[in-house]
Structure 1
């Protein structure tokens, strides 16, 4: 019998005083890779994300997404005895993650200076809204607020109406940087024997994700225009409706593709030489005219016919799908990406994690925990 290799983080203990989205996302990815994650929650209802909604068998959609394969314990950190037991748990851990308000961990004796003085091999990760310094250090930092402060809202939506992203982009960004930072710290500890102290903020994470618009604004002196599904710097790019009401998203990346698009998809190679459309800059300047030309052709095409022409021309394209369609997406179904995971209220369908091992190893997909016992 061939022995199956263990998951890469098997044997790693993570203790996390976490709530909401960013920290739970980071630690769930660690659990997916085999780490034992002990989630420390408040007594009673625990992580307040448990009560965001009741849409998944009576459970919160956020909590089910973020907390599988973890163990839950509760602790009143204002109680000296329970706080001591949390410190004892951390003493045996490889990684400690916390997303208290800035300064709270230090007041509890859970800051990096205290914990790593006694446990220099510990990896200490702090997640906050704006970081541990600066004028916004103590500001409230919900996802929508960070999207506004980093300018994401200013570049998302239509020309007439800005919009926030429909997913918690700031939380996800911070969670993923915490995840990658912890992995890097574990690797560093293998070489040096020393732990690491680091912090990640939602503001810094989403500011990094704003790199293209920020560089665009710095270089041009003006912000990219809000363009719906279109692209501020590329045309044609975005969703186009066909005569039967289907919407297809396409992306032209260079002048060669633009000429193929005109010849094969629009059926008129001469359009490529129209002075309004010769270069990408020309097409952006005359975007309404460009869209009018494309829409005029698409009125007589079905969605399937449009996609067939795009494929023939070698133009990147996608269907604009509803969430119901994504749940039944043929790519997910063919690859078995949706599986069942247990919850306190019965099994639910959920996606496998994006890191896919091709050597036979499978990620941990253990149940979502109910609120656990007191430490």
Structure 2
């Protein structure tokens, strides 16, 4: 693993994080909701994750595992404190209400109606805490005929047309490997929460904010969505080629493949003149403009790949970087984490874990100069901070013991 602090500069101990003093009651699970609260936690919010005392977040059972811990859970839940409650019990729900009363933000992504059944819906909680920002993440929105539908990342990729844009023209549409819709929805929820937090600083009152997988999935179609609405033409799959520029795509080299993007004539000129030493191709009438190159892409690809076959991918990538031609070697995940770029950015590190010893971690992509991201802390074990949180809420030791004996924190407690 790599040393993030040495790569990016040590964090000033006197620099407060951006969301210092903000408390988040995190009722979310799986990926979309926890991604939102992970970003809030990275920026210094005190995120308290409330889990089902019997089994915890279902993501805890996802593979792979490291020293008994779910790696997906570790990924989605760092920098949070964890409390386990049996919300089917009145006394446990009262603890949740006490936590919400002292919180600035609540994030939930249960099926529609679940929070209301627990007495934790927005209408009830805004009376309890008028300053509360209540973030609801759903599959298809909380209102209307789709509100009761369950949804998952890959289903939304299929339904929004996103899958139809991925893959090669002669094959079926493909979903992405990573859960891009969940991640993007978590990011969208974070933006909504921060907007509501800024508004509260002016108005003094909170509000309900929402985002849904389906709406974000439509956003993730990119400008192809608006292109369809503007022209009526259904966008097609093009594989790894560019949809509107050439040369853009995957090109074979002597030892592998390289992804190259020439988004304009100037970049194309630098590629053929400075990198490939083929100045004759700049003014070749077949390739003079992007339209010309798109019409003659087969001929141009053959010429470029003959030139690229004389050296390896890494050598060409360095040459293109020197001449400001955007390009990158196509790597496996293992190769990416061993690359000079990954090391230079200090992305991977290890952090302490209460039962596993140490676990790997990936740096937050946000960089705030004056209010830096907090030092990473591993995701909590189930109920790890229950006593700590109850102490914070002012519960006396005898009351905590009474609640524990009654089963408010689950049978395991």
Question: Shorter chain as normaliser: what TM range?
Answer: over 0.9
Q: Distance in 2 between matches of 1:167 and 1:63?
A: 15
2:15 to 2, 5, 9: 5
| 1:26 to partner: Cα distance | 0.6
In 2, are the aligned partners of 1:34 and 1:364 still within 8 Å (CA)?
Answer: no
Q: In structure 1, the residue corresponding to 2:50 is in which secondary structure?
A: strand
1:270 to 280, 284, 304: 280
Q: Does 1:229 align with 2:240?
A: yes
Cα 1:275–1:138 change in 2 (3 A) is farther
- Aligned counterpart, 1:170: 181
1:198 to 204, 209, 214: 209
Q: Distance in 2 between matches of 1:60 and 1:163?
A: 27
Query: What RMSD in Å do the two structures reach over aligned CA positions?
Result: 2.1
- Aligned counterpart, 1:62: 72
Q: In structure 1, the residue corresponding to 2:280 is in which secondary structure?
A: helix
| 1:112 to partner: Cα distance | 1.1
- Aligned counterpart, 1:321: 331
| 1:114 to partner: Cα distance | 1.0
- Aligned counterpart, 2:118: 108
1:217-256 to structure 2, matched below 5 A, reads 217-243=228-254, 245-256=255-266
Q: Distance in 2 between matches of 1:160 and 1:203?
A: 27
Q: Distance in 2 between matches of 1:99 and 1:52?
A: 18
- Aligned counterpart, 1:158: 168
In 1, are the aligned partners of 2:52 and 2:85 still within 8 Å (CA)?
Answer: yes
1:25 to 14, 17, 35: 35
Q: In structure 1, the residue corresponding to 2:39 is in which secondary structure?
A: helix
- Aligned counterpart, 2:378: 367
Q: Distance in 1 between matches of 2:80 and 2:153?
A: 24
- Aligned counterpart, 2:400: none
Q: Does 1:303 align with 2:300?
A: no
2:348 to 331, 338, 346: 338
1:356 to 353, 358, 367: 367
| 1:360 to partner: Cα distance | 8.0
Q: Does 1:259 align with 2:269?
A: yes
Q: Distance in 1 between matches of 2:225 and 2:97?
A: 42
Q: Which runs of 5+ in 2 are unaligned?
A: 1-11, 387-407
Q: Does 1:287 align with 2:292?
A: no
Cα 1:150–1:360 change in 2 (3 A) is closer
- Aligned counterpart, 2:7: none
Q: Distance in 1 between matches of 2:13 and 2:287?
A: 60
Q: In structure 2, the residue corresponding to 1:144 is in which secondary structure?
A: helix
- Aligned counterpart, 1:120: 130
| 1:160 to partner: Cα distance | 2.2
Q: Distance in 2 between matches of 1:267 and 1:336?
A: 35
| 1:205 to partner: Cα distance | 1.4
| 1:147 to partner: Cα distance | 0.8
Q: Which runs of 5+ in 1 are unaligned?
A: none
Q: Distance in 2 between matches of 1:362 and 1:98?
A: 23
| 1:133 to partner: Cα distance | 2.3
Q: Deviations over 1:92-118 (max 9, x none)?
A: 111111111012222322111111022
Q: Deviations over 1:340-366 (max 9, x none)?
A: 223332212212211223348451312
1:73-88 to structure 2, matched below 5 A, reads 73-88=83-98
Q: Deviations over 1:271-327 (max 9, x none)?
A: 344444333233334333332222222222322442354245431111212111222
In 1, are the aligned partners of 2:245 and 2:264 still within 8 Å (CA)?
Answer: no
Q: Does 1:145 align with 2:155?
A: yes
- Structure possessing the higher relative contact order (Cα contacts under 8 Å, 6 or more residues apart): 2
Cα 1:235–1:338 change in 2 (3 A) is same
Cα 1:146–1:288 change in 2 (3 A) is same
In 2, are the aligned partners of 1:264 and 1:312 still within 8 Å (CA)?
Answer: no
Indicate the larger mover: 172-181 or 337-346: 337-346
Q: In structure 2, the residue corresponding to 1:347 is in which secondary structure?
A: strand
